[in-house]
Amino acid sequence: MAELIQIMVVDDHHIVRQGLVALIGTLSDMKVVAEAADGAEAVELYRKHRPAVTLMDLRLPNMNGVDAITKIRQEFSDARIIVLTTFDGDEDIYRALQAGAKGYLLKGMNADELTDAIRTVHAGKSRIPAVVAERLAERMGGPSLTGRELDVLKRIVGGRSNKEIASDLFISEATVKTHINSILSKLGVSDRTQAATTALQRGIVHLD
């Protein structure tokens, strides 16, 4: 008999974890060997169980999914991780794949898509749905924001004025305006409100 695919499920919502564990429990070629509710616990349990495939939510307490993927992959370069999330912003996708995720699934997928993705990633291949691949292609094609532009954009999303942003970052208002003009150009929008909306939709900035 073929060896079962050992799986770790990482999600901070108990009911989501339960559902995934129950679903995987109905399959003859897989079994769940570990469950984690946050990123730090995921790293610890990965070290202990070395699952063949990990299903990882992105929004996690203590350590987010991207950081957990990064940490696991630093220690275990062969780790096979599928991101399972409700977020499909291209920046979320980009960060997760940059960190070393081998698959990306939205939580609206059906059971067949999930199990097919697990088997595909376990076989050493990547699994990125077409809609996600499109978003990623858009992200790869656009100019990326600098660290300072991200700092400014986060504060725009937070409703800070130019004067407040200048004070927060110890720069002049003129410099803030220069950064904002660059941000608007890179995001392809015409004003601060559109910049904030686009930043949230694409996952460039998250509301905590």
pLDDT at 178: 94
Strand partners, 9: 35, 55
Task: Compute the half-sphere exposure of residue 107: CA atoms within 13 Å on the CB side of its CA.
Answer: 14
Model pTM score: 0.74
Question: Does position 1 have pLDDT exceeding 60, yes or no?
Answer: no
Q: pLDDT tens, 6-47? A: 999 999 999 999 999 999 999 999 999 999 999 999 999 999
Q: What are phi and psi for residue 50, nearest 5 degrees?
A: 45, 60
Residues in the chain, total: 208
Domains of the chain (ranges plus CATH)? 5-140 (3.40.50.2300), 147-201 (1.10.10.10)
For residues 188-200, average pLDDT: 89
How deeply is 59 buried, as exposed, middle or buried, from its count of CB atoms within 10 A (0-12, 13-18, 19+)? middle
At residue 94 the predicted structure's pLDDT band, cuts being 50, 70 and 90, is confident
Q: pLDDT tens, 97-150? A: 889 999 998 888 888 999 999 999 999 999 987 777 777 777 766 678 888 999
For residues 56-78, average pLDDT: 94
Return d(Cα 65, Cα 179) in angstroms, integer.
29
